[in-house]
Amino acid sequence: MTDSNALSTVPSPVSTRGITPSDACDCGPSRRQVLGALAATGIVAPLAFSGMDAAAAGAEANAAITPEQAMAEIMAGNTRFVAGAPTAHTKDLAIIRARAAEGQWPSVGVLSCADSRVPVEMVFDEPIGRLFVTRVAGNITTPEIIASLEYGVAVLGIKAIVVMGHSNCGAIKAAMQNPEVPGQVSALFPSILPAIYMSQRDDPMAVTRQNAVIHAATLINSSTVIETAVKDGKLTVVPAVYDVATSKVELLPIPAALRQKTPR
């Protein structure tokens, strides 16, 4: 299910901000290329170094990339996934596990819906340890989600955060219909209501797009850790929508009006 009409408050997907797959070749070596070069020279070779050494080398290589390179890498991965030509499964799982046992060096954090049709690592064609993923129905921000992503930024050094909604989202549709639901399911609805009001359309996909944009902006506006990293050019926060029918990820901009302008 896709939405053919653009939201009045959300422009068409960005294509000139240095974070699309076609720009990957213009922003220097990607993290995958850096790690590949290190492996080729023996710096992170599993036979020559311990898992701890490999983890340290991976973290160092990760620190050298830019937010634009981090986004270009995962979008190139999505292009491979859409084309039916993923490569993550070809990696040596034993080596990946050995390195993961000693640490992690993800470059991108993802706030995704809990929906089982959105397998984040597969969507971006990334192996173990490459994405720092948080998930909750409706891909909404909560104190726990924000804290987790702050850890990713401050401790793990992630360079980008993607807030990713998806087509045919049950949480979005339920919030729009506001039916009687069991247990605490309705606790999700208040965080989705702003997107319903701002989209001004009875269209689940329009609300899904607006919801991703709002919660991406909320991450920046609600967290001094994330806001500072963005202002310093060390981090980018990008809303996105995943189409469960085509497997394609569409990036969206955050309108200036949703960015906090006054100091706290």
Phi, psi for residue 90 in degrees, rounded to 5: -85, -10
Asked if residue 235 lies in contact with residue 19, where contact means CB atoms within 8 angstroms, the answer is no
Judged against a pLDDT cut of 70, whether residue 69 lies above it is answered with yes
242 DSSP β-pair partners: 166, 249
Helices 51-63 & 31-41 angle (0-180, nearest 10): 140
For residue 88, the model assigns a pLDDT of 93
Rounded to two decimals, what is the model's pTM? 0.79
For residue 43, the model assigns a pLDDT of 32
Judged against a pLDDT cut of 90, whether residue 51 lies above it is answered with no
Q: Which two tokens stand for residue 201?
A: 């359309």
Asked if residue 223 lies in contact with residue 230, where contact means CB atoms within 8 angstroms, the answer is no
Query: What share of the chain has pLDDT > 90, as a percent?
Result: 65
For residue 81, the model assigns a pLDDT of 98
Query: What share of the chain has pLDDT > 70, as a percent?
Result: 76
Mean pLDDT on 229-246: 98
Q: What is the pLDDT of residues 139-190, one digit of tens each?
A: 999 999 999 999 999 999 999 999 999 999 999 999 999 999 999 999 999 9
Mean pLDDT on 34-54: 42
For residue 41, the model assigns a pLDDT of 31
Integer Cα distance of 67 and 47 in angstroms? 31
For residue 56, the model assigns a pLDDT of 62
Mean pLDDT on 40-53: 41
Which 8-state DSSP code applies to residue 46? T
Mean pLDDT on 60-71: 89
Residue 65 pLDDT grade (very low, low, confident, very high; cuts 50, 70, 90):
very high
Judged against a pLDDT cut of 60, whether residue 125 lies above it is answered with yes
For residue 53, the model assigns a pLDDT of 58
Asked if residue 71 lies in contact with residue 19, where contact means CB atoms within 8 angstroms, the answer is yes
For residue 112, the model assigns a pLDDT of 98
For residue 47, the model assigns a pLDDT of 34
For residue 7, the model assigns a pLDDT of 37
